[in-house]
Structure 1
């Protein structure tokens, strides 16, 4: 068949295939879509230009603080959205609030798609070009999704030190100013177009590197409530305070104990009845310690897709909240673990109030550890997989992935399903930079927890005896047969529902 006889709908799908990630195996945060072929296709003829434009400009990126030296010929955001064809094409807008968020290795092929508006340092400056550009989303009639991408660096309220002025971090107040500005623009967009049924509502909200601090004043505001009532897809990537010069991933910061209960009890419940898709991802393992998240009381009656990243199971009932969501059709477990062994220093024990039900406690000196509480949890993925299969009858897609270095927040829709030997983890609050110690490598599943020997180590034992690995500790190997059987049974059941 000649090209000019291909139906436009089919030709549009063909042209869309020209979009591809430069490296599908690399970190999606560092990868980027290659637009060059699609941009060249626009030059073939008018029809190809009309069909390619919606794919090329379906998403635009706006940056608060440009650095022209990092990009070749940056095109102003406002200039692009003045084009009627582009206005109709845009369905997603990404607002990056800090220059550190963007990839420094983009090339000229991206210049038409990722665009920058020069902004004022003062976000509240009346008439500032950045605030005007944010307000420009009102000109995008088909906008359905919006992402606010903060910098990963953040500081808590109590932090004081020579690094406090680190320009790689955004203050809590600046983050709130940005949220108010963007939510205000969304509110004005809807108010200005209430009478125009051709204008879409913004249904999907992504907050990338949202700081792990409660924001009760903002979520109780009329502005927040007015905007959030249209949202049925919510995707959160939570960042935590982490200074390279500190002893650890700031394990003792109060946010690490308070944010997860706040997320469970205050942030999510008002949205539970309306969400159809939810992503909860953290930049550090979460759910067990020092903060707890067991999801009790969370019911999402319309939830179809749930993605969890870096979630840790440490109690027999901790996954019950997921299994309560009977409407689920897609469940993605991205770098999710079961914690098998835990060490909590005595100095932290009374402050953290860690629940210990389902845990077996070892005497001090076990595994070579001193001045601490030592526990083991016997939970297995076999039990979790069997319960998913039995208790989520509508599930038609199950994904499970374990990248050793990063989660798949940006690439969650492209996850596969594999049974990794990294599925078990240990927690040692005496180690740094992170207390969460994954398997030594993905192939073996070998864990390191003190000297790996549960026997009590004498106080006068040699350094080698106390700290050297005395035994093999491999929870994945111990549970392999049952976990593999349950995993395959789950996949077969899910496929059968197609």
Structure 2
């Protein structure tokens, strides 16, 4: 009997094996093995289609779109709105030639040529400025107005392909969505039509230094909350949730939501997880770099501007001559873990992590901290020192100085080591929560 080879396996098994190829070159090599392997490799090579405003990307997109057999293989479209979304130079000059811009808009508008798409990822640039910003020193890659124009272009293309009878986009991921309310877009008919088809929504937000995160996402949630099955809300680099902008989704119901992922979501009030605890259908919860703020210093003028509530906080000092007041907040992760275990009866998986990856650079070992909405399902559950944080309105480059690996946090006065003080109780509560989740599988 001849030995069994990979080609003798069931087509479904072979397809699964090929899908785990490391990169494009591996897939190209697989194509050379045989006609059967070639068909599997081609299916993987063209499963995702990509465009950005460059001549090469537009040309490749159009070539695939112009080939019906290849266009039918695409299941996911990735649209970058600038030439290089990794460029975070605040002083960059970014001019797209008119011909390239026209070609880009035409390419995006041709989404209907990919009849079987069910997933779309849109990625904007990192740096942003608010509408009407008076900061003349910065030249961001995309103004707030251009970002809205890009969203309108993409959503019109999605609506057109749906009207043409193609498959519906069920999964939408938006990277670097600016925290700018855009009612002229989110209150439009095309926005409601497109959002109404979604089962999954994954948003990673960015903010300029003068604005806050959180409140801008509510208009994205209202049209789809009743049918949404998976939701991710991330900030790219900033703690968010309590202030400057308070996220209050308590008026929104998520009756079918099964998976929820939160990135950099930060707790400063006792009822801030109530909206999560109300989602009784929840089966998986990811808390990625989520924290509790234990000390708070906010400028008095900001307290008034932000309309910040001090409920649940203990006043540490209030001096009329000082520029700020200071408070303490005493919530602990052990209490929140216990609340999640008791309040979410269908929860089967929980992740709580601040992942680190060590790598070598020459003779030195450095640390890279992986983070982002796209890796939400690779999270583990560990007790990390940064789970307790402070807010200090008087320091830069961040008002949210994090603890080091030993739990030490910068603060103008002496501050406890919250990591060490609550390590044992937090670990026990997390272990119990994970045990409860495992018992439901």
Q: Same fold (TM over 0.5)?
A: yes
Relative to structure 1, the CA distance from residue 161 to residue 261 in structure 2 (aligned partners, 3 Å threshold; closer, same or farther) is closer
Deviation at 1:161, TM superposition (A): 3.7
Q: In the alignment, what sits opposite 2:31?
A: 42
Structure 1 SS opposite 2:33: coil
- Do 1:53 and 1:85's aligned partners in 2 also have CA atoms closer than 8 Å? no
Paired positions, count = 417
Provide structure 1 residue ranges, at least 5 long, that are not aligned to the other structure. 20-33, 105-118, 194-198, 242-249, 454-472
CA deviation map 1:351-375 (0-9, x unaligned): 221111110011247xxx9431100
- Do 2:128 and 2:143's aligned partners in 1 also have CA atoms closer than 8 Å? yes
Structure 2 SS opposite 1:328: coil
- Map 1:396-475 to 2 at 5 A: 396-403=348-355, 405=369, 407-439=371-403, 441-442=404-405, 444-452=406-414, 473-475=416-418
Structure 2 SS opposite 1:411: helix
Structure 2 SS opposite 1:213: coil
Structure 2 SS opposite 1:425: strand
Q: In the alignment, what sits opposite 1:78?
A: 62
Relative to structure 1, the CA distance from residue 81 to residue 267 in structure 2 (aligned partners, 3 Å threshold; closer, same or farther) is closer
* Distance in 2 (alpha carbons) for counterparts of 1:170 and 1:132: 19
* Distance in 1 (alpha carbons) for counterparts of 2:85 and 2:283: 33
CA deviation map 1:240-273 (0-9, x unaligned): 11xxxxxxxx2xx2x32xx533433x43222211
- Do 2:408 and 2:417's aligned partners in 1 also have CA atoms closer than 8 Å? yes
- Map 1:154-169 to 2 at 5 A: 154-164=128-138, 166=139, 168-169=140-141
TM-score between both structures, scaled by the size of structure 2? 0.89
1:220 aligns with 2:193: no
Structure 1 SS opposite 2:29: helix
Q: In the alignment, what sits opposite 1:314?
A: 268
2:228 to 268, 275, 282: 275
Deviation at 1:406, TM superposition (A): 5.6
- Map 1:195-210 to 2 at 5 A: 199-210=166-177
- Map 1:142-161 to 2 at 5 A: 142-161=116-135
Structure 2 SS opposite 1:48: helix
Q: In the alignment, what sits opposite 1:485?
A: 428
Relative to structure 1, the CA distance from residue 333 to residue 354 in structure 2 (aligned partners, 3 Å threshold; closer, same or farther) is same
1:16 aligns with 2:44: no
Q: In the alignment, what sits opposite 2:363?
A: none
* Distance in 1 (alpha carbons) for counterparts of 2:347 and 2:146: 40
- Do 2:355 and 2:379's aligned partners in 1 also have CA atoms closer than 8 Å? no
Q: In the alignment, what sits opposite 2:439?
A: 496
2:325 to 373, 383, 387: 373
- Do 2:86 and 2:126's aligned partners in 1 also have CA atoms closer than 8 Å? no
Structure 2 SS opposite 1:89: coil
- Root-mean-square deviation (CA, aligned residues, Å) is 2.2
Deviation at 1:479, TM superposition (A): 1.1
Deviation at 1:343, TM superposition (A): 0.5
* Distance in 2 (alpha carbons) for counterparts of 1:204 and 1:316: 32
* Distance in 2 (alpha carbons) for counterparts of 1:219 and 1:122: 29
Deviation at 1:139, TM superposition (A): 1.7
